[in-house]
Amino acid sequence: MALDFNDPDLEFADLVYAYQSWVMAVINDEKLGGDETLLTDEIAEDALNAMRFLPGEVTSAIETSLARVYDVDADELAALLFPED
């Protein structure tokens, strides 16, 4: 279910969850070779929309902590998340 950014009950935690889900899906699909693909267009769209409302410090903290948990180099993760940069 896609996030409704017009929902007055949307909470900060929902935005964090959307971004975190995207980062975890990218790590799973690109680095861990999971049996099933987790990344969907809906997950990516929610995460990119959530980024508009999340401070850079929050997205950076999510990326850094998940890179550590899944033993992925932070620079490599950044390249996976934002290949056009």
User: Total structural domains in the chain?
Assistant: 1
On whether residue 11 sits in a domain, the answer given is: no
Could you tell me which residues come within 8 angstroms of residue 25 by beta carbon, excluding any fewer than 6 positions away? 38, 39, 40, 43
Domain encompassing residue 46: 22-81
Specify if 9 maps to a domain: no
Q: Model confidence over 8-67: pLDDT tens digits?
A: 888 999 999 999 999 999 999 988 876 788 999 999 999 999 999 999 999 999 999 999
According to the model, what pLDDT value does residue 5 have?
79
Whether residue 8 is contained in a domain is answered as no
Q: Is the pTM of this model over 0.85?
A: yes
Q: Does 61 map to a domain?
A: yes
